[in-house]
Structure 1
Amino acid sequence: MITRRLASLALVLLLAAVIPAFGAPAQRRDGPMPPAMPQGLPAGWLEAAWEAYKKHFVRSGRVVDDVNRISHSEGQGYAMLIAVKAGDRTGFDEIWRWTKQELFIDPSGLAAWQWKEQASPHVTDKNNATDGDILIAWALIEAGEKWKSAEYVDAARSILSALGRTVIAPNEAGPVLLPGRLGFSVEDHSDGQVLNLSYWVFPAFERLRGLAPEIDWAGVQASGLRLLRESRFGPMRLPSDWIAVGSAPPAPAKSFPPRFSYNAIRIPLYLAWAKIEQPDLLRPFAGLWNEKLNLGPFEIELPSGSALDTLGGVGFKAVVATAKCALARQKLHASLRIIEPGAYYPTTLHILSLIALQERYPECL
């Protein structure tokens, strides 16, 4: 009787077999072309998706992660960014007001990453999450430009200055983003700096560079791409959520489970949204979901490559579909054009994936 782990591995190998092999060019498909799909997304889709999102996840400016039953800087930043894209200044202001009041409480100038309604005080960890701060700053820059607000721009500049002082650290690969100002340096871990490559929000860097040119954002981007290329673990050639970078090549960090999971699934979205067209980086992610067989995407145990649980939620499929578009201009599956709110995280990634495709790869729509 085959074990669950062997069955999972068989699924992963099946996924790998139905996409172009790692490092090989995409193959042209013979035979008649499928019927053409209508181009683009319906007018007003983002505004409608945003209104539904607010109804499900936003409470007086606080974005609720309903699965983890917390609010966090990442969620505030994502929601602010979607609000700007949807042109909702009232919603943006409400979320930014709550974020500023409740999370920016530390002298570091960075947002506390975790807030719990049932706790007293509500902030249960004042350490920051660097991706959350980047998302908030990026949203403020976009809002400042859209609505001609110097106040938003000044707030973004202050956050970027704090990031430059506290979480951008030297590394052999170049300047890197520590995931937080506390707890991730070489002094904290025996296997070196502990990094999270999904915190490299690649589509934000050009905008951040325009406002804070004194920070080497080009170097930060280059280090992220280099580390991603060096962090290919197991037969699926995927990065772990958390890597350690010491004197040896990158490896899954000892302080965290060695798996590709809910953090690293964002990496292909950010690569595609920034239009970083490097097939060798994108191709491993394309194997995470086979839409024909409706398999995946999966959490992957590293370095064995065994499939664990399925990443639940349509939004994770949308991320993989975005990678396939950037890799081979594969059209978006019809089922992914409709956003139906589920849990906070996959719903957020679904909306962001469609925004990225609309901005960067409209031909896939």
Structure 2
Amino acid sequence: MKRLLGAVAAAMLAFAPAAQATLPLEAWELYRQKFVMPDGRVVDDLNGAISHSESQGYGLLLACLAGDRTSFARILAFTRTELLIRDDGLAAWRWDPKATPRVTDINNATDGDLLIAYALNCAGSAWAMPGYTNAARQLARNIAKATFLKRGSETWLMPAVSGFSEKDRADGPVVNPSYWVFEALPVMARLTGDNGWLKVQATGLKLLDTLAKANMPAPEWMSVKAEPRPADGFPAQFGYNAMRVPLYLLRAGLGEPGRLAPFRAAWANGPAIVDVRSKQAVEQLSDPGYRILVAALACAADGTAIPQEPKSFVPTAYYPSTLHLLTLAMLSERYQRCM
């Protein structure tokens, strides 16, 4: 664990924060026009047109990367008014325009909280606005207080305040590897002076490296009660949420070949939902927002050029479109040779 912490610290020095990437304004405008409502709500169109802390966090981050201060402020206003309503300072995760009250699940989702904090820091740094930076710092402290789980030398990032602990589940604690937004963790450590964030980073990397040794791409939900395994009651799949994991590793500069190998193997025949035990594809995926993830892995591995088609952004559905823009921004910053 000490060696892994050292590697994390080295990565902090060796790589500029991904938040400094530039997203082409025209691509962001297409995304904004389709998914960002005039009141700042970011819509998950294939999920009943709901919004959630994740969509708001992604919207904020993309607005920052595109340099769109007006949209950032609008998205933040909705987020603060409608979701940042919990007593612990975290965001309620689910907002449904067809329900009364609109918040239909007051529980938090830690990835959404982390994305919001990271985006606030991005905006504060990019635009010299200390109010945003201070808000990011306070939210980061709230996340650490409410969701860090220390077990021996490891510090786990719990997916939510409620529902996943040893008290809540027979196989608890249960974690979601895709909630480790790796590029954000050292930023939160610097922002707060809390090295617990680096321990969270090291614990997440250790988990992925353990899975890589077993040639297993990360399943969405994992029991870490004993040896890590797919959690009870969830499909043992490298699924929609988990496909963010290799992207987050690449964006953070942590995409070591061995760590990425299970993901490349899972997508050898194109992007797919994969059963992590049988290694068989459950569902093939065709959206360019998923195809560019496969291309990005090939680029990182051996410099393979990105195909022309996914280099042009045309919005489809909220989630793959979001991954598409995050990948394009990352390729522009870190892998220009493939573009």
Amino acid at match of 1:259: Q
Q: What letter matches 1:299 in structure 2?
A: I
> CA 1:307 to 1:136, structure 2 compared with 1: closer, same or farther past 3 Å?
same
Q: Give 1:276's aligned residue.
A: 254
TM-fit CA distance, 1:232: 4.9
Q: Paired residues, what number?
A: 316
Q: State the partner residue of 1:301.
A: 275
Unaligned runs of 5+ in 2: 1-21
Partner AA of 1:278 in structure 2: E
Q: Out of 34, 37, 57, which is 1:56 matched to?
A: 34
Structure 2 counterpart SS, 1:63? coil
2:103 to 98, 109, 123: 123
- Cα deviation, 1:159-200, whole Å, max 9, x if unaligned, reads 111111110111346111000011111111112210000110
**1:47 aligned onto 2:25:** yes
Equivalence for 1:3: none
Q: Larger % of helix: which? A: 2
> Which residue of the other structure, out of 254, 263, 266, is the alignment partner of 2:244?
266
Matched, 1:237 2:216: yes
CA RMSD of aligned residues (A): 1.6
**Structure 1, gaps ≥5 residues long:** 1-43
How much does 1:311 deviate?
2.8
Q: Does 1:176 align with 2:156?
A: yes
| Bigger-Rg structure (1/2) | 1
Q: Take 1:220 and 1:361, find their aligned partners in 2: how far apart are those partners?
A: 27
Are positions 1:187 and 2:183 aligned together? no
1:175 aligned counterpart, secondary structure: strand
Deviation at 1:261? 0.3
**Conserved? CA contact 1:173–1:226, under 8 Å:** no
107-116 vs 44-53, greater mean Cα deviation = 44-53
1:5 matched residue in structure 2: none
| 1:132 to 1:342, Cα distance in 2 relative to 1, 3 A | same
For residues 325-356 of structure 1, the C-alpha deviation after alignment (integer angstroms, 9 at most, x for no partner) is 22222221111111111000000000000111
Q: Given the superposition, is the C-alpha separation of residues 301 and 172 from structure 1 closer, same or farther in structure 2, using an over 3 Å criterion?
A: farther
Residue type at the aligned position of 2:173: Q
Take 2:225 and 2:302, find their aligned partners in 1: how far apart are those partners? Answer: 35
Aligned AA for 2:111?
D
1:95-146 Cα offsets, whole Å, 9 max, x none, are 0000000001110100011000000000001111111111110110010011
Name the CA shift for 1:212/1:45 in 2 (closer, same or farther; >3 Å): closer
Give the equivalent residue in structure 1 for 2:83.
Answer: 103
Superposed displacement of residue 215, structure 1: 4.3
Aligned to 2:118: 138
Cα distance change, pair 312–100 in 1 and its aligned pair in 2 (3 A)? farther
Q: Distance in 1 between matches of 2:323 and 2:299?
A: 16
> Structure 2 CA distance, aligned partners of 1:330 and 1:192?
41
Mapped partners of 1:201, 1:226: distance in 2: 15
Select the residue among 126, 129, 144 that pairs with 1:164: 144
* Aligned residues of 1:115 and 1:123 also touching (Cα < 8 A): yes
The aligned counterpart of 2:197 is: 217
The share of aligned pairs that are identical, in percent, is 43
Partner amino acid for 1:257?
P
Match of 1:324 in 2: 298
Structure 1 window deviating more from structure 2 (66-75 vs 170-179): it is 170-179
Deviations 1:71-101, CA, capped at 9 Å, x for gaps:
0111111111111111100000000000000
Give the aligned residue type for 1:316.
Y
CA distance change for structure 1 residues 187 and 45 in 2, over 3 Å: closer, same or farther?
closer
| Counterparts of 1:179 and 1:169, CA distance in 2 | 11
Q: 1:342 aligns with which of 305, 316, 321?
A: 316
Residue 353 in structure 1 maps to residue 331 in structure 2 = no
